[in-house]
Structure 1
């Protein structure tokens, strides 16, 4: 069971062999200045051969999280069904001087920020066994974990945590395994993050004076009620609605600001995460 993929960077050609592959992760950006010159050709080649496509960013963790993440997203321009990844490792000269505590803080902030910016895409983390066991202390991976333990059998990464992807070899290229049963299953999972309900109306629902009272508030309240939250559906965005919003955001790993923006709205109208 399971399916196989690879991860590509500029070391690979613009059209690598896709035989037997279901997915690929493509390096798009690094730091604030590097872009993989092959990434768009690699993306188009992967899509033409029916692969599920993911993009990853390699950080320089002394830089601004927001600046790096914004550059990554502006370059990748993810579409529904594309998978977004932070390649979290820091052995190189750009990161070795950054403390593990600051590297951890970067990881936490990048995943949360990108998830806020791209709520319709799965967002996750790649790391190796050393970083998972010795640098990470929270276990926060946003939507999924891609774990690297080269030298172990595909699908046997040797960790207790839930994982979706396993990089099990780097010879002759980085080789990956996903425990889902088929390309279609992975594609369906990735597409499930796109909101199935109404698009965000463009209005931030928040506590203010006078209180917001309109059909957008009522639509969000009704959706939260349908999900099982005890909320009055009256169209008024008051303290009770803000409290429910913060509780929902905490449960889903979103920024807990009590404001229904695009990420909170999209998460509320998803159908695969109903609680």
Structure 2
């Protein structure tokens, strides 16, 4: 039981093969000066394939953790239900001169500040078994732990920790990952549970009827659809034009891995998707 994903950086394709994948983590930034030139294309490929998307930052731990977290968040700009992650390792030239206690302090400060700045996103940490066992002393990883132990079977990272993701291989030039949850839908539901971007569900469906429905909640939905780029009149009336746009949105969502019943009715699932589904 479990699902599979990959993590991508600039040396992967800007349009990776997503066959058989449920999730993808994408490197966005490193330090304060580097941005993966292909990250936006990789994000779009993952979203269009219906994957759960995560973004990660590689640190320069000589810098302020708070400043780097702010920079990462300003570039990534995650949609609802997308994950944020610190790639906590320091074997490179920039970080090798930073003491382990200072690396630990950086990790703690980065994760806490990022969570404060993005309270409705899952925030977590990637590290290998060496860092988990020998540099970490607190066990703090915020919302999820992504552990790397290459060469071990998927789902057997060999650490005593409550991990969610396991990077188990870099075969074929692509890092391969495993999540112990049972399905893409379960992982997506977990990620979305950190906070809904949608206003409260009004408690009733918008649908065509002999006497057209008309109220402020319908107008709120129409305005959000308009803001997403749909050519819809924002007048508070739920007539044939609004129902047609709703049906098109439901079909488009389903085509992009966000399955909705295609019925032209704004029920609770369609209401939430209007705000939470990433704009493709």
Larger Rg computed on CA atoms: 2
Q: Residue in 2 aligned with 1:181?
A: 182
Unaligned runs of 5+ in 2: 201-280
Give 1:66 deviation, angstroms.
Answer: 1.4
Q: Distance in 2 between matches of 1:66 and 1:136?
A: 19
Q: Distance in 1 between matches of 2:111 and 2:66?
A: 10
Q: String of CA shifts for 1:116-153, please: whole Å, max 9, x gaps.
A: 00000000000000000000000000001000000000
Q: 1:21 to 1:110 in 2, by over 3 A?
A: same
3-state DSSP of counterpart to 1:152 = coil
Alignment of structure 1 residues 1-275 onto 2, 5 Å: 1-172=1-172, 173-195=174-196
Q: Residue in 1 aligned with 2:257?
A: none
TM-score, scaled relative to structure 2:
0.70
3-state DSSP of counterpart to 1:17 = coil
Q: Distance in 2 between matches of 1:160 and 1:90?
A: 22
Q: Distance in 1 between matches of 2:155 and 2:32?
A: 34
TM-score, scaled relative to structure 1:
0.71
Give 1:85 deviation, angstroms.
Answer: 0.2
Q: Distance in 2 between matches of 1:30 and 1:119?
A: 22
Q: Distance in 1 between matches of 2:13 and 2:122?
A: 26
Unaligned runs of 5+ in 1: 200-275
Give 1:67 deviation, angstroms.
Answer: 1.2
Q: Distance in 1 between matches of 2:85 and 2:75?
A: 14
Give 1:31 deviation, angstroms.
Answer: 0.2
Asked if the contact 2:80/2:196 (under 8 Å) is kept, the reply is no
Give the 4+ runs in structure 1 shifted more than 2 A.
Answer: 195-199
Q: Distance in 2 between matches of 1:38 and 1:106?
A: 27
3-state DSSP of counterpart to 1:56 = strand
3-state DSSP of counterpart to 1:105 = helix
Asked if the contact 2:80/2:197 (under 8 Å) is kept, the reply is no
Q: Alpha carbon RMSD of aligned pairs, Å? A: 1.3
Q: String of CA shifts for 1:176-198, please: whole Å, max 9, x gaps.
A: 00000000000000000015897
Q: Distance in 1 between matches of 2:198 and 2:67?
A: 31
Q: Distance in 2 between matches of 1:27 and 1:82?
A: 13
